[in-house]
Structure 1
Amino acid sequence: MKKSQLFAPDEPLTDAELDRLEEFLKRCKGGKAMNIEELDGFFAALIAGPDVVLPSEYLPEVFGGELSDACKFASFDEVNATLTLLMRHWNDIAHTLGNGDVYQDEKGLQRGNDWARGFMRGVGMCHDGWGALLADEDHAGCMIPVLMLYHEHDQDPSLRPQPIGREQREKIFDFMAAGLMGAYRYFRRHGKPFADVLELEPRRADPKPGRNDPCPCGSGKKYKRCCGATVQ
């Protein structure tokens, strides 16, 4: 990765960078890592939601397990590059929510189920706070669109919505974007910690850390027991 890309935390990922990130996630063993659409929903819920969740808490959800168990990096450079892509993607979604300009991009969602699944995984990490929103009769409706897509193929037939046609799905996407902004504003009115969303600063491409140095992913663990254990 070029240095100009590494030090560009505010720039959205290019299509090539999104492809690179998705290819890495596919390599995580067990097939439990998120795809990009699921990652988008997951990050959106964490950023919009009631609590600040640190990378050390949510990265295992992204990778489908602890880094040392789920992933194998080819080198420290790949560790740094992958984490930088994730940080930039987080910041892009945070800026989008902060500016209030949530909309479907030109490619749009495929069917929205993966996005909804990722979103609900993010909700699950801050269950009590989201529970307060769902208990608020004036604001709980913002969750209906995402819940429709989350339960569309539920094993329990009683939780599934009526069959969703193409035009209705497009409307659900629009309502889902509006609901996301509604949740974002709700939690800011109700005192989410830190006035602005915690943004993640990519670390400089310093020389490879020592085995006992802190891991650059921010987990708080020693490098040898975190990302260093994943380097082949």
Structure 2
Amino acid sequence: MHSQPLNAADFDVLEDTLLTYGDDHSVLNTSELDGFFTALVSSPTQVDIADWFPAIWGGQNPNWEDPEEAKRFIELSVRHFNTLARQLAEDSKAFAPRFEESEHQGQTVTLAEEWCFGYSRGVTLAQWPDMPQIQAGLLETIFELAEQETFELPEDFDVPAYQKKVALVAPAARALHDYWLSQR
């Protein structure tokens, strides 16, 4: 059971816990957590749970109301972390970022900002070194979307152009994982 990918109810538990204990400095949702973990499992060096777990909370662990709640969050986080690591190592083509969606003028828009922001947090925590130009460009594809504000989309928001950028994120993440894997 501990090696099984998370289901919708598991992600709901993670989401609820992040909302309950999070603040402006912490990971705020499962999309951002997914991006954070993707960067960590793709990293050129291993990042220990003792480092990444407090980073979820902005550097300070929450004051848990119930130790079982903390245990459950850690177990689900580790399962998701391991699922991403296994998937990217064994079948990276099946990897799909956990993006959010929104409605804009009657269209469903896939939003990558929070996932990309989580990814950038993971890159920073793992202290990725400089990379060759191609890989640096792939990372910039992700970082650019991390900085694009999508909380409220302007009326003239160019959905097709944005979706083209979003479509580049998963291939970039896969390629960065593969690059670092080949360097280990």
TM-score normalised to structure 1 length = 0.65
Residue-pair matches, total: 166
For structure 1, the residue ranges without an aligned partner over 5 or more in a row are 1-7, 154-162, 192-232
Distance 1:103 1:21, change over 3 A: closer
- Structure 2: distance between partners of 1:32 and 1:64: 5
Residue deviations 1:183-225 (CA, integer Å, cap 9, x gap): 111112212xxxxxxxxxxxxxxxxxxxxxxxxxxxxxxxxxx
* Separation in 2, partners of 1:10, 1:94: 11
Structure 2, gaps ≥5 residues long: 102-110, 150-155
- What's the offset of the Cα at 1:25? 1.5
1:59-117 residue CA offsets vs partner (Å, 9 max, x unmatched): 111123322xx23232x322221211111111121122111122356xx4331111111
Question: What is the correspondence of 1:183-198 to structure 2 with a 5 Å cutoff?
Answer: 183-191=176-184
Structure 1 equivalent of residue 78 of structure 2: 87
- RMSD, matched Cα: 2.0
**Equivalent residue in structure 2 for 1:14, among 7, 13, 19:** 7
* Shift in CA distance, 180/152, structure 1 to aligned 2, threshold 3 Å: same
Residues 1-232 of structure 1 aligned to structure 2 (within 5 Å): 8-28=1-21, 30-34=23-27, 35-67=29-61, 70-74=62-66, 76-98=67-89, 99-100=91-92, 101-103=94-96, 108-110=99-101, 111-127=111-127, 130-133=128-131, 136-153=132-149, 165-191=158-184
The answer to which structure has the higher strand fraction is 2
C-alpha separation in 2, matches of 1:182 and 1:146: 12
Query: Identity, % of aligned pairs?
Result: 24
Structure 1 stretches of 4+ moved >6 Å: none
1:78–1:103 Cα change, 3 Å: closer
Q: 2: distance between equivalents of 1:30 and 1:114?
A: 15
**Counterparts in 2 of 1:164 and 1:180: CA distance versus 1, 3 Å:** farther
Secondary structure of 1:84 counterpart: helix
State the distance in 2 between where 1:138 and 1:27 align: 40
Q: Pick the structure with greater CA Rg.
A: 1
